[in-house]
Amino acid sequence: MRSFVLSLAALLAFAGTGFAQTNTGGSTASKVKTAATTEKTSTSTTKKTTAAPTKSANVNRAAAQQKKAPTATPQQLRATRYGGFAPAAMAAPLPAPDLDLASPRSISLVNFNTKEEMTVTYWSNGAYHRSALDQLNRFLRDSRDSGTTEMDPLLFDVLWHTARIAGYGGQIEVLSAFRSPESNAWLASVSRGVARDSQHINGNAMDIRFPGVPVFRIRQAARALDMGGVGFYPRSGFVHIDTGPVRYW
């Protein structure tokens, strides 16, 4: 009997030790798993935390580059819209020209509306030629109602000098010259670009082109004279010149 009791006690003791070892192993596994999970979470958090400064640095770098980029001027923006004319050449003024005041002055014209052509020497030996001026008055008539007027001879000088400064010796295309008050009023009613008191009514304005010459170059040459108004119309491809007050647009 005593031997049975001792054997039972020894068996219970052995079973308790095994249970304790099994329980300890489960606790250890749990701790390892928790540590691994914590390490994974920590690594993920670290990656996310590290990515944020990189994005911030990119934003700061882009902002710095934008600050360094030159701001487009109105001339450059307009140049882009109107076919990419060189803004530097448009903006840079020409030096005051040395005008030829002695040579005979001849101009070759083509009327854009009537397709008529003429070449005439209107000035030589210090005087305007009356017959040539009469031809020009007729040639530059209002294309809508055929009205004529006495064109300002100084306008032809502005045109002649402008062509020489621009280095152009070909035929000049005339889009518009004299306009009767009625014709100008109609144009003003259908176009915001036409002034109701236009210098065309006074016979001292022309809208011109030099075929093959950029319009900004024509504008520069006309402005260098400082002899009247100069209008710049790059979208339509022409320059307005007149002998009114000196002004530019």
Q: Domain locations in the chain?
A: 1-69, 87-248
CATH topology of domain 87-248: Muramoyl-pentapeptide Carboxypeptidase; domain 2 (3.30.1380)
Residues in the chain: 249
Higher-pLDDT residue of 190 and 133 is 133
73-109 pLDDT, tens digit per residue, is 444 433 333 333 333 344 455 577 889 999 999 999 9
196-242 pLDDT, tens digit per residue, is 778 999 999 999 999 999 999 999 999 999 999 999 999 999 999 99
Q: What single-letter DSSP state applies at residue 235?
A: T
Strands of the sheet containing 105-111, edge to edge, are 127-128, 117-124, 105-111, 172-176, 205-209, 238-242, 229-233, 247-248
- Which pLDDT belongs to residue 32? 39
pTM of the model: 0.63
Question: What is the C-alpha separation between 248 and 87, in angstroms, rounded?
Answer: 17
For residue 20, pLDDT over 60 is answered with: no
